[in-house]
């Protein structure tokens, strides 16, 4: 039999998973890639604001450190939207060259319509 959870339990789980509770807020530069992985990436352009809300005392240079070291990269995901994601979980590291070509063609096709 499947477990049943209340609305409040589900809400608390989601808020914790998104690092939006005082217990789950990041504290150091090393938390940046972990939080980005947990939340599935950041919207390009608003990425530092998203991180500011998930840290006790976020410093923009923390993001810059991981971005400049190529731990975080820009990637087109979710119907071609540009996101900041962890390089080691990027679709670019998972797909084979032929699959990458097909994915790239699909994105170009979506943009042209």
- Which residues of the chain register pLDDT less than 50? 94-95, 100
Scan for tokens 């807020």, then name that residue. Answer: 25
Q: Is residue 36 within 8 Å of residue 84, measured between CB atoms?
A: yes
pTM: 0.73
Partner residues linked to 77 by β-bridges? 81
Q: What is the pLDDT of residue 111?
A: 55
**Taking all residues of the chain, what is their mean pLDDT, rounded to a whole number?**
83
In angstroms, the CA 34 to CA 86 distance is 9
What does the pLDDT read at residue 112? 54
């Amino acid at each position: 039999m499947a477990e049943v959870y209340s609305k409040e339990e589900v809400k608390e789980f989601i808020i914790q998973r998104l690092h939006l509770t005082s217990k789950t807020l990041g504290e150091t530069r090393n938390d940046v890639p972990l939080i980005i992985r947990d939340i599935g990436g950041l919207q390009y352009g608003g990425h530092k604001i998203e991180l500011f809300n998930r840290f006790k005392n976020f410093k923009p240079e923390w993001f810059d450190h991981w971005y400049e070291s190529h731990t975080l990269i820009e990637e087109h995901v979710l119907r071609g939207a540009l996101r900041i994601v962890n390089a080691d979980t990027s679709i670019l590291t998972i797909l084979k060259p032929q699959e990458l070509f097909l994915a790239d063609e699909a994105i170009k096709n979506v943009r042209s319509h």
